[in-house]
């Protein structure tokens, strides 16, 4: 039994069949669609470059051909671990041997006065994407609340559509929590160069009929307000079932929850990571893509552990980047740059105790394997050589790493 209708759910069903499981698989998802991927909703599909059909993980024939009992538009409303049963939104009760929770995350909502006005939009579902895309073709000005990944990608899409954009962010740089001030400044410059009015250190006070009002009294006119202030794991079902919740559904390295027959994967899972030595929850595509295969094997009784390094990417205007590794919040670290920041063609490395713990390539490609190897090596490194483009990265990876 799989609860959740996104990428993680579809990949779990795929992995179970690939591992040879020939029993019944029921996949229940609350949205009335085939399971789909979410990155295109803030990238290609939002900008009109990707056809809607391309967002789906598999077509309907695939589920039929692989004997997956797919039930879109149905919600799991309750889990009874003792009876090994779930209750569906129509009242039906189904028994399970193993249950995978792939319920994902839900957007944080604004709470300021005016937050419920009809001109406030969010971006999580394909319907919300379609509405936002239609809006961008019809309005002249928008305000984006939040300069995280979603907020900045929406801003880039809006500028591509010729819309005036103001981004309101309470931190002093975009992406401060994810990338830190040095690299956050790169994204600030990128958006300003493309005509975005970036208001940093600004606090939203209210949504008005004609825009937004900030805490300092400033009023910004806008036809539409897009809120991109993060997401929270959808743990309601798991919590009601008595599972351990801690920034998501807490799991072991094999994605098993506090109940031995219930597993979790994707945005909702706060999984123990053996390489990183602690629990981590990652709201990015790669986790939803790769975790389900481990969960599937564990559900089938195999000895497995999910130890892939966190990975994410973005495309904004003419900037493309990939990031691999993890910098725990509050960790003391340094950033070493290789390349030309002003030209936005560089590599960045996050170091702790002279070891690379995360790395990023910006408009420099075919370096992913070397960046990953440096992070996995977890060995002291020569900072000067790391910053020197004339030194090949593979020379910096210790032998045998």
Share of the chain above pLDDT 70, in %: 99
Residues 328 and 388 placed together within one structural domain of the fold: yes
Predicted pLDDT of residue 209:
95
Residue 210 placed within a domain = yes
Residues 223 and 327 placed together within one structural domain of the fold: no
CB 363 within 8 A of CB 321: yes
Kindly report which listed range (46-50, 150-154, 284-288, 374-378) carries the lowest average pLDDT score.
46-50
pLDDT(286) > 70: yes
Q: What does the block give as tokens for 104?
A: 């994902």
Residues 191 and 282 placed together within one structural domain of the fold: no
Give 50's pLDDT tier (boundaries 50, 70, 90): low
Residues 46 and 114 placed together within one structural domain of the fold: no
Q: Give the rounded distance of the alpha carbon of 95 from its chain centre.
A: 31
Residue 268 placed within a domain = yes
Residue 309 placed within a domain = no
Predicted pLDDT of residue 330:
82
Return the SS3 of 85.
strand
- End-to-end CA gap in the chain: 39
Q: What does the block give as tokens for 145?
A: 């609340």
Residue 308 placed within a domain = no
Residue 304 placed within a domain = no
- What average pLDDT does range 81-104 have in this prediction? 97
- What average pLDDT does range 4-28 have in this prediction? 97
Q: What is the CATH number of the domain that holds 83?
A: 3.50.50.60
Residues 201 and 285 placed together within one structural domain of the fold: no
pLDDT(48) > 80: no
- What average pLDDT does range 133-140 have in this prediction? 96
User: How does pLDDT run across 378-389, given as a tens digit for each residue?
Assistant: 999 999 999 999
User: How does pLDDT run across 326-356, given as a tens digit for each residue?
Assistant: 998 888 899 999 999 999 999 999 999 999 9
Q: What is the DSSP string of 342-376?
A: TTTEEEEEEEETTEEEEEEEES--S-HHHHHHHHH
Predicted pLDDT of residue 307:
97
CA distance 123 to 158: 13
CA distance 343 to 362: 10
- What average pLDDT does range 28-49 have in this prediction? 90
Q: What is the DSSP string of 158-211?
A: HHHTT-EEEEEESSSSTTHHHHHHHHHHHHHHHHHHTT-EEEET--EEEEETTE
Residue 177 placed within a domain = yes
Buried b (16+ CB within 10 A) or exposed e, 279-307: bbbbbbbebbbbbbbbbbbbbeeeebbbe
Sign of the torsion angle spanned by Cα atoms 27, 31, 33, 36: negative
Residues 102 and 241 placed together within one structural domain of the fold: yes
CB 173 within 8 A of CB 105: no
CA distance 91 to 85: 12
Q: What is the CATH number of the domain that holds 364?
A: 3.30.390.30
Predicted pLDDT of residue 401:
54
User: How does pLDDT run across 168-188, given as a tens digit for each residue?
Assistant: 999 999 999 999 999 999 999
Query: 269, 299, 329: which is the final residue of a domain?
Result: 299
User: What's the domain range around 60?
Assistant: 2-106+231-299
Residues 39 and 142 placed together within one structural domain of the fold: no
Residues 266 and 325 placed together within one structural domain of the fold: no
User: How does pLDDT run across 51-77, given as a tens digit for each residue?
Assistant: 778 899 999 999 999 999 999 999 999
pLDDT(235) > 80: yes
Return the SS3 of 150.
helix
pLDDT(156) > 60: yes
Q: What does the block give as tokens for 168?
A: 């309101």
- Which helix (H) or strand (E) element contains residue 129? helix 126-136
Give 400's pLDDT tier (boundaries 50, 70, 90): low
Residue 312 placed within a domain = no
Q: Tokens 């006070």: give the residue.
A: 205
Predicted pLDDT of residue 238:
98
Residues 136 and 223 placed together within one structural domain of the fold: yes
CB 101 within 8 A of CB 81: no
Residue 22 placed within a domain = yes
Residues 188 and 237 placed together within one structural domain of the fold: no
Predicted pLDDT of residue 329:
84
Q: What is the Cβ-side half-sphere exposure of residue 67, based on CA atoms within 13 angstroms?
A: 9
Residues 100 and 113 placed together within one structural domain of the fold: no
Predicted pLDDT of residue 341:
96
Q: What is the DSSP string of 254-292?
A: T-B-SSTTEEE-GGGEEEEETTTTEEE---SHHHHHHHH
Number of domains in the chain: 3
Q: Give the rounded distance of the alpha carbon of 133 from its chain centre.
A: 20
Query: 227, 246, 263: which is the final residue of a domain?
Result: 227
Share of the chain above pLDDT 90, in %: 93
Residues 13 and 100 placed together within one structural domain of the fold: yes
- Which helix (H) or strand (E) element contains residue 149? helix 149-160
CA distance 209 to 120: 11
Query: 227, 242, 273: which is the final residue of a domain?
Result: 227
């Amino acid at each position: 039994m799989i609860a959740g209708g996104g990428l993680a759910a579809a990949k779990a069903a795929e992995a179970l069949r690939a591992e040879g499981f020939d029993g019944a698989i029921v996949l229940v998802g609350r949205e009335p669609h085939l399971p789909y991927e979410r990155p295109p909703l803030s990238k290609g599909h939002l900008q009109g470059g990707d056809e809607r059909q391309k967002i789906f993980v598999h077509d309907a024939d695939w589920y039929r051909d692989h004997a997956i009992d797919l039930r879109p538009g149905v919600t799991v409303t309750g889990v009874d671990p003792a009876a090994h049963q779930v209750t569906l939104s129509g009242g039906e009760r189904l028994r399970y041997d193993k249950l995978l929770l792939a319920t994902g995350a839900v957007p944080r909502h604004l709470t300021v006065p005016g937050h419920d006005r009809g001109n406030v939009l969010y971006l999580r579902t394909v319907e919300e994407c379609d509405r936002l895309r239609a809006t961008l073709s019809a309005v002249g000005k928008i305000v984006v609340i939040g300069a995280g990944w979603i907020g900045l990608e929406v801003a880039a899409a809006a500028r591509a559509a010729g819309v005036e954009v103001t981004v309101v962010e309470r931190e002093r740089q975009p992406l401060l929590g994810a990338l830190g001030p040095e690299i956050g400044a790169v994204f600030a410059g990128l958006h300003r160069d493309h005509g975005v009015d970036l208001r940093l250190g600004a606090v939203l006070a209210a949504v008005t009929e004609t825009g937004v009002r900030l805490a300092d009294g400033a009023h910004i006119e806008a036809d539409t307000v897009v809120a991109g202030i993060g997401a929270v794991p959808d743990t309601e079902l798991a919590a009601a079932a008595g599972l351990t919740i801690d920034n998501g559904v807490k799991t072991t390295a094999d994605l098993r929850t506090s109940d031995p027959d219930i597993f979790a994967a994707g945005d909702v899972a706060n999984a123990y990571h053996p390489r990183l030595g602690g629990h981590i929850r990652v709201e990015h595509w790669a986790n939803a893509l790769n975790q389900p295969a481990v969960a599937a094997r564990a559900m089938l009784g195999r000895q497995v552990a999910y130890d892939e390094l966190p990975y994410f990417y973005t495309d904004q205007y003419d900037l493309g980047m990939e990031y691999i590794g993890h910098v725990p919040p509050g960790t003391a670290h340094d950033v070493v740059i290789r390349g030309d920041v002003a030209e936005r063609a560089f590599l960045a490395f996050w170091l702790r105790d002279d070891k690379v713990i995360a790395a990023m390539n910006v408009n420099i490609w075919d370096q992913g394997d070397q960046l990953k190897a440096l992070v996995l090596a977890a060995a002291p490194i020569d900072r000067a050589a790391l910053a020197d483009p004339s030194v090949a990265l593979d020379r910096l990876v210790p032998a045998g790493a």
